[in-house]
Amino acid sequence: MPRTPQFHRETALNNALQLFWRQGYHATSMKDIEEAMDMRPGSIYAAFGNKESLFKEALDSYFAMVEEDFKNTIAKQPSVLQGFRQYLKNIAKADESCAPTKACMLVKTLLEFTPEDKAFSEPVHAYLDSIEAMFTEALSEAQSRGELSRQSSPEKLARLIQTNVIGLRTMARRSISQSQLEALVDDVVARIIPVN
């Protein structure tokens, strides 16, 4: 009879995700990982492989979380464009009780590794491409519903929104007040999300 694992895999992985998201890959030691996951080195290797494979799995989880958050936000609004507005506004409202940092883990990883570090940079590029495609798909849906002008390009607007999401998350790391950040989000929303 197989032994029952002495840990909850999803909880352990989430703890690793939070640690990598806060500290980055290089600044995170195996000792940090052991403490965050409350696991011995042998158990970590048996369950997740080495540090690199654990980090990649944490990136997978982060992307899944971003995807779910976006889709849930869109679904809760009466229109797709209102969903985009709310998604951008949520960036300003997020605090460290729900995330270790407001910075995007994908962008942090992209900046931490050079393009030559393909094992890390290529998956991040693929995730960012997937997010842009997800935005494009939602905007195409908005266009088919008549929320977005036929003259608008969902692809170009998706890239513009993604650029602003990255910028807003970066600004959120600066020591600016919550009210300033919310005002900045309002300005971004007013400039890039069409009024339907």
130-to-8, 18, 82, 96, 137 alpha-carbon distances in Å: 29, 22, 21, 26, 10
Q: What is the DSSP letter of 99?
A: -
pTM over 0.75: yes
95-to-85, 165, 172, 178 alpha-carbon distances in Å: 18, 16, 10, 10
* pLDDT tens sequence across 11-33: 999 999 999 999 999 999 999 99
What does the domain layout of the chain look like in residue ranges? Answer: 56-192
Rounded to an integer, the average pLDDT of 171-196 is 86
* pLDDT tens sequence across 82-99: 999 999 998 888 665 567
Tokens 């492989």 sit on residue: 49
Residue 144 has pLDDT above 60, yes or no: yes
One DSSP character per residue, 5-61 reads PSS-HHHHHHHHHHHHHHH-STT--HHHHHHHHT--HHHHHHHH-SHHHHHHHHHHH
For the domain made up of 56-192, the CATH class stated in words is mainly alpha
pLDDT for 96 equals 55
Separation CA 79–CA 69 (nearest Å):
16
* pLDDT tens sequence across 61-81: 999 999 999 999 999 999 999
Please answer whether residues 124 and 60 qualify as being in contact, where contact means their C-beta atoms are separated by less than 8 angstroms: no
Nearest to 103, CA basis, from 47, 169, 54: 169
